Chains A and B, each alone.
Chain A
Amino acid sequence: MSEQTSDLMLSTTHLTMRFGGLTAVSDFNLEIYKNEIVGLIGPNGAGKTTAFNVITGMYRPSEGKVLFRGRDITGMKPHSITSLGIARTFQNIRLFKEMSVLENVLVACHLSIDTGIFGATLHLPGYRARETEARRFSMELLEQVRLAHLAYEKGTSLPYGQQRRLEIVRALATKPKILLLDEPAAGMNPQESFELMDFIRKIRDEFDLTIFLIEHHMQVVMGVCERMYVLDYGVTIAHGDPASIQKNPKVIEAYLGVD
């Protein structure tokens, strides 16, 4: 990936997030380049999800900046950040529980359909054309991830693994440039986890994406990530390629502890 290093997608500088006396993330410096798959790992409570929440605008950082393709997005609203091309999934699946699989994906197309409430309610031609296009696009996405035959089922009635995939598809429907996955393999057995990692690599290639993912189990991400950052108690204790991370004594200490 070295030839692409000039193409910086997402970066943070001195990112710090404090909650009262607790520093959840401190001085986090991230650099992600186009088409990379980068991992963020660390033990429970290391501040991984907090880092995600700050990047996607759910929290405003106490210090530091978030830059997306050179543009300062610190403190922007989550929906504006999504509209710029950063999509995310959640650690505990957050599907819209009363909606069908297709509707879940269509919600994510709202940005591209929105012609104002009057156009939408009156189903004016401009709105209808966009709605039809969004439906076609959503079905196409669902077909690509083999969920099309379940389009009219309730999203929350799907098996766990498919719900995970649906959440990723829903994020893809916002037409992102970078996809942030928060523990996509949580609750999966090793077999399913490895399948998921193949799936992630596949969507990266098909959708020309950059992927930043949180994972809790190191083994799972070793195969898929090209680089990774390791957090422990909010502090970046290591970053580099998987092989060097695996050998890093600090990482081993964080994961296994020392006597």
Chain B
Amino acid sequence: MDTANQKKTIALPRNRLYSIIAIAAFVVFAFIADRFFDAFTLRVFNLCAIYIVLALSLNLLNGFTGLFSLGHAGFMAVGAYVSALLTMSPQLKEMNYFLVPIVPWLHNVTLPFLPALIIAGLVSAFVGFLIGAPVLRLRDDYLAIATLGFGEIIRVLITNAQSITNGAQGLKGLPRFSTTFAVWAVAGLTILFMVLLMRSSYGRAMKAVRDDELAAEAMGINVFRVKVTAFTVSSFWAGVGGALLGHMITTIDPKMFTFALTFNILLIVVLGGIGSISGSVISAVVVTILMEALRFLDEPMNLIVFKTEGMPGLRMVVFSILLMVMIIYRQKGLMGNAEFSWDMLGGLFVKKGRKGGDHV
């Protein structure tokens, strides 16, 4: 007992030191990446950050509060459009809205990036609150279907609100605000927010609702309010993530925000571990990189023996197989609902070391 305690007291500051070193190393890496990576690689690197934000916001619902929501793309669309409309210059808006002119009250608005990003998140959160209040009375599959429906409704509304969103033409030439610094700062903030939230009594209440709604209610937790809060907060980060995505791609249109986008994020959450922050982070990075690295599968291939014509979507097959393997062999995902810790990493090496020792 005593030695174990001693070990722990020594391990704590050491682990903190490791964490500081790791974060510092990452910041240096990000600076190097920003300077020396080619445009494509840098874009993938930054996309990782955006997917971290999105995966964490979905994990807050699916993983931590146990609400199976499939409407994420809708909230991302709200964020992306709000931020785009707030930051585009009047001239740019005139160029975009050649079929139906933009409504006058939006015409002259031009805000800097940060306030636009925050407003995008807040508007998205408000929409989330409006949808959440009725929809969260449903459970399980019913909730999934209802959120899926509302996600699509948001998309259809955007397609048809021609004078506000420019409809199906979408918006082109969004300011390129999603710099390496911006996206990773937001990703860092999201991670910090999630860690703090989950360590607070609200995080505990959310997990209690996930584990046993009835018991949570009997412990004096207002289950409905906790659910609506989680939904609103999740929508906020989804909106922020959507806005970042818009300012990275610089072109947005309603077709971008279909269920396929929600599915990609859900894939990250499930692979990383439902209810694990570090799992979502690792998985977001791995999946984003794989999505780009496997692009060659969609193109025509010359495999010497036979040639393929190029099948768009073949790389998604890889993810589907990955997902099936994960569901069969490791149902809880990469991290389960545990979190990364240095001790865990140490344990991994010790185990390996011992195995190696046996061989010798």
**Chain A interface residues toward B at CB < 8 A:** 56, 58, 77-79, 82-83, 87-88, 90, 94-99, 103, 106-111, 113-114, 117, 120-123, 127, 131, 134, 170-171, 173-174
Q: Give B216's nearest chain A residue, CB to CB.
A: A107
Docked pose: A109 CA to B201 CA in angstroms: 9
**Chain B interface residues toward A at CB < 8 A:** 193, 196-197, 199-205, 207-208, 210-212, 214-223, 229, 233, 275, 337
Distance in angstroms from B72 CB to nearest chain A CB is 20
Q: Are A96 and B220 in contact (CB under 8 A)?
A: no
Chain A residue contacts of B204, Cβ below 8 A: 99, 103, 106-107, 110
Docked pose: A90 CA to B214 CA in angstroms: 10
Distance in angstroms from B4 CB to nearest chain A CB is 13
Q: Are B205 and A107 in contact (CB under 8 A)?
A: yes
Q: Which of B197, B203, B212, B337 contacts A94 (CB 8 A)?
A: B212
Of the A-B pairs whose beta carbons lie under 8 Å apart in the complex, a sample of 14, sorted by A's number, is A58-B214, A82-B217, A94-B212, A98-B337, A99-B211, A108-B219, A113-B201, A117-B197, A120-B200, A122-B196, A123-B200, A127-B201, A131-B201, A173-B219
A96-B211, A98-B337, A99-B211 known; A79+B217 contact, CB < 8 A? yes
Q: Give B202's nearest chain A residue, CB to CB.
A: A120
Distance in angstroms from B165 CB to nearest chain A CB is 31
A95-B215, A110-B201 known; A79+B229 contact, CB < 8 A? no
Chain B residue contacts of A96, Cβ below 8 A: 207-208, 211-212, 215-216
Q: Are B219 and A174 in contact (CB under 8 A)?
A: yes
Q: Are B211 and A97 in contact (CB under 8 A)?
A: yes
Distance in angstroms from B24 CB to nearest chain A CB is 24
Chain B residue contacts of A82, Cβ below 8 A: 217-220
Q: Give B211's nearest chain A residue, CB to CB.
A: A96
Chain A residue contacts of B193, Cβ below 8 A: 121
Q: Are B215 and A94 in contact (CB under 8 A)?
A: yes
Of the candidates B204, B212, B217, the one having the most CB atoms from chain A within 10 angstroms of its own CB is B204
Docked pose: A78 CA to B215 CA in angstroms: 10
A58-B214, A120-B201 known; A99+B222 contact, CB < 8 A? no
Q: Give A82's nearest chain B residue, CB to CB.
A: B220
Chain B residue contacts of A95, Cβ below 8 A: 212, 215
Q: Are A106 and B218 in contact (CB under 8 A)?
A: no
